Amino acid sequence: MAKKQKSPEMQEICFQDALIPETEQPYKVPANWVWTRLGKINHYQGKSIDPSISPDDIFELYSVPSCGTGYPEIITGSEIGSTKQIVTNDDVLICKINPRINRVWIVSKHTDNLLIASSEWIIVRNSRIYARYLMWCFQSYYFREYMLSNVSGVGGSLMRSQPKYVSSYPVPLPPLPEQQRIVERIENLFEKLERAKELAKIALDSLETRKAAILQKAFKGELTAKWREENGMSLEGWEDTKIGNVFEVFSGKGFKEKEYARQGVKLLRITNVTYEQLIWNDVKFLPEEYLDEESDLVLKPNDIVMALNRPITNGKVKVSIVDQQGPYILYQRVGCLRAKNEDIVIFYLYYMQSRFFKHQLEANLQGSDQPYLNLPPLKAITCPRPSVPEQQEIVRILDSLFEKEQRAKEFADVIGKIDLMKKTILARAFRGELGTNDPREESSERLLEKIQHERII
């Protein structure tokens, strides 16, 4: 039996209910756009299937893990262990699991098999709205903030957005032609940015490969072969020793939250130690009275600090030198290497960036999910110990070579800037600030009216 059509009065009530009042709108949009709520434009009606009932049938499965590949799993019913949602081409999928990971996907029929999706997706369907417009909108900063505003679970893979709240989140709705123009502009700009990012990655990979090769030569004595010849020295003068013979090695102390102060002495924690430099995006302070100059916890300029938890990140050792801006107090799970004598500290800082050091470090890590390093194996790591004059010469050569590489490194650093530019483009797109809006076009109120009419008949 066909559904009974609602009266014009009821249709008007439904339309007005779908509009978000100006006082509740997240921000201002062009006059011919409207704000509505996700639930008011979602025509999806849940329909599930148990694929195991048809073990020999093949399904096109939009699972959460396959989202990262951009291609669904083509899989038999016997391989699927739980009930799934039936989806259709152009459905937009928003992942509920850990919304900090920005996972939005469009169903794009790749085969003639039944399309199904994990129950971890919130499915959005509307044939009157451009699916790619919704996809980009759901990836924008303002919407992701809403996704994180109401979650259940304690964190990580246990954290989930709740569909009942997601359906209430605001969505800016421009006229259909403007939706298409926005998508074209976003994807055109993103394509150019991706090309630039790829070039930056190539430059970065080339830089890191070259740097690794230079360090390899430095600590095999190859960079200073001519220098030794000119100074009547030989490679046999190099001594193999251990880190513990060159440095005093110790770690910091834990402090309770109530001991922190608004100002005072900076506490140097793992979050402050990164590859080659200290960063202070997240600063904690202790009161000035904690500054005991006789204590090992008070770091000195030219101390080397190393993260003891996850000391290797993205293939790089998290080791830095303490600058002149201190003093700093050493926190737990951060190791300090303080030179015992006249050895050149920068020489060993360079060594700790080499494969020789990293391979030994990796061999001594404990734990799998959260690898950590204890102090005794750190002290036992072997290192070369040429004469101090040769250490100075190696540092001079490396400083000179890597200074020349700096311009390439700065070029490669655009990767982070490109990601920020993408966020900015998306933010502007859904404010109507990409220069694509035509104010002469019919207001999207008419589009929303049609959508609401379809929802109530």
Smallest Cα–Cα separation from 360: which of 345, 338, 377, 347?
A: 377
pTM: 0.67
**pLDDT higher than threshold 50 for residue 1:** no
Which of 35-44, 268-277, 332-341 is predicted least confidently? Answer: 268-277
> Residue 407 above 50 pLDDT?
yes
Which helix (H) or strand (E) segment holds residue 364: the answer is none
Q: What is the end-to-end Cα distance of the chain in Å, rounded?
A: 12
Q: Is the dihedral of CA 210, 342, 332, 364 positive or negative?
A: positive
Mean pLDDT of all residues in 286-301? 86
What are the residue ranges spanned by the domains of the chain? Answer: 8-177+442-456
pLDDT at 154 over 70: no
Is residue 14 within 8 Å of residue 100, measured between CB atoms?
no
Please tell me the predicted confidence (pLDDT) of residue 456: 47
User: Please, what is the Cα angle at 316 between 313 and 319, to 5 degrees?
Assistant: 95
Residue 182, both tokens: 């926005």
Q: What is the pLDDT of residues 92-110, one digit of tens each?
A: 999 999 999 999 999 999 9
CB-based burial label for 183 (10 Å; 0-12, 13-18, 19+)? buried
| CATH classification (class only), 8-177+442-456 | alpha beta
Supply angle C-alpha 265, 268, 273, rounded to 5.
Answer: 150
Q: What is the DSSP letter of 75?
A: E
Q: Which of 62-66, 298-302, 356-360, 407-411 has the lowest mean pLDDT?
A: 407-411
